[in-house]
Structure 1
Amino acid sequence: YVSRTTGHTRDKLLGGLGITSLFSNDVASDKGPSQFQPEVHPWVEQIAESPRIFLYHNFLSEEERVHLIKLAAPIMRRSKILQNDAPADSNARTSYGTFLRRMQDPIVERIQRRIELWTHYPIEHQE
């Protein structure tokens, strides 16, 4: 549709599904100055209708990627399996993971607000 306040074309419905696709002027701004380098064009691609699956291209800036890695690296732990109702190591599970606190700092908050904007899921429902 065309925004009544700015007159800019802001959204597009995908495949008649009533799903909003956000273009770079919306997703980059997060209601503020652009967080992306000028050459980066963030965009959303629907890759399946049932179940609905979307691929978010160029979602994070280089600064955000580096920041998340710096936050997570020191607290990464090997993923466990559940064995006899207790967490256990397994040679079959070789991944590592961690959790960051919600709204941990301004960059994490900015990313969470972008997730909310792009997915229409409130921050409280994000994992």
Structure 2
Amino acid sequence: MARWRARRLLPLATFVTLGMILGSLLQLALLHRLDGYSVHADSDPEAVLLRLGYVKPEVISWTPRIIVFHNFLSSEECDYLMAIARPRLQISTVVDVATGKGVKSDVRTSSGMFVNSEERKSPVVQAIEKRISVFSQIPKENGELIQVLRYEASQYYRPHHDYFSDTFNLKRGGQRVATMLMYLTDGVVGGETHFPQEMESAAVEETWSKDCVLSQTKGTLFSSGAWDWMVTQTQTVSTAGALF
């Protein structure tokens, strides 16, 4: 019986491994292609939409995958997200693992809001979602609605995982597989994303993905988060977002 199971699982494991290798190669090719674009490619509408020539990738780590895309958003896009967010900011919540619902917690002290279905139709949000899809290589349909977060002086998000540990959200749309965190403001002291477990000493992959947002000592930090799921979403709003 054990040998039979091993024979059945081997093709699946091989397929998954090849898929992971192919995905890595495709992403490497994308990063190389981005570096080759010039800022003079403004005559191409697709290049303008994706900000090709402006966005510069920097690989921080390949395992786990951490890539910084410098200049990912334009100043106008940052201003737009902050403008629609300010009137609707509410105290941020975290996921209750028992119910899957959002609850207030001392581990997270920011305020935030989700872009609604009407705002999602705007050309600005459409362009950002398209860019996220292309750069993450995950279909746009697999993404949650974009969330905008505000961290004021001394606010923070304690160490946490972005993936779901409750069954409610898993049944609703599967597991989160990627996070895109976009900083909307500069001139802030502090507020960086910190991984408390060093990658070199992490015993299992789960510890690599635990992160926290350090409190800033000066200024107000606005950021925007977008999460991609394993399956297609229907404008799903997570009751409690998380930062990468």
Shift of 1:34: 6.4
Identity %: 29
Partner of residue 107, structure 1: 124
- Aligned pair in 2 of structure 1 residues 99, 30: CA closer, same or farther (>3 Å)? farther
More helix by percentage? 2
Contact map agreement 2:50 2:131 (CA 8 A) in 1: no
SS for the counterpart of 1:94 is coil
* Bigger radius of gyration among the two: 2
Partner of residue 79, structure 1: 92
SS for the counterpart of 2:63 is coil
* Alignment map for 1:47-86 (pairs within 5 Å): 47-81=60-94, 82=96, 85=99
Gaps of 5+ in 1: 1-16
Partner Cα distance (2:90, 2:38) in 1: 37
Shift of 1:30: 5.9
RMSD: 3.0
Higher relative contact order (CA 8 A, sep 6+): 2
Shift of 1:116: 1.5
Aligned length: 108
Deviates more, 1:117-126 or 1:47-56: 117-126
Partner of residue 95, structure 1: 110
Partner Cα distance (1:84, 1:34) in 2: 41
Equivalent residue in structure 2 for 1:120, among 131, 134, 137: 137
Contact map agreement 2:56 2:71 (CA 8 A) in 1: yes
- Aligned pair in 2 of structure 1 residues 87, 101: CA closer, same or farther (>3 Å)? closer
Gaps of 5+ in 2: 1-23, 145-244
Partner Cα distance (1:122, 1:83) in 2: 27
Contact map agreement 1:42 1:57 (CA 8 A) in 2: yes
Partner Cα distance (2:64, 2:97) in 1: 31
TM-score, L = length of structure 1: 0.67
SS for the counterpart of 1:31 is helix
Deviates more, 1:85-94 or 1:25-34: 25-34
Partner Cα distance (2:49, 2:93) in 1: 39
Contact map agreement 1:35 1:61 (CA 8 A) in 2: no
Deviates more, 1:95-104 or 1:20-29: 20-29
User: What amino acid is aligned across from residue 131 of structure 2 in structure 1?
Assistant: R
Partner Cα distance (2:45, 2:60) in 1: 24
Partner Cα distance (1:30, 1:118) in 2: 17
Partner Cα distance (1:111, 1:70) in 2: 15
Deviates more, 1:68-77 or 1:23-32: 23-32
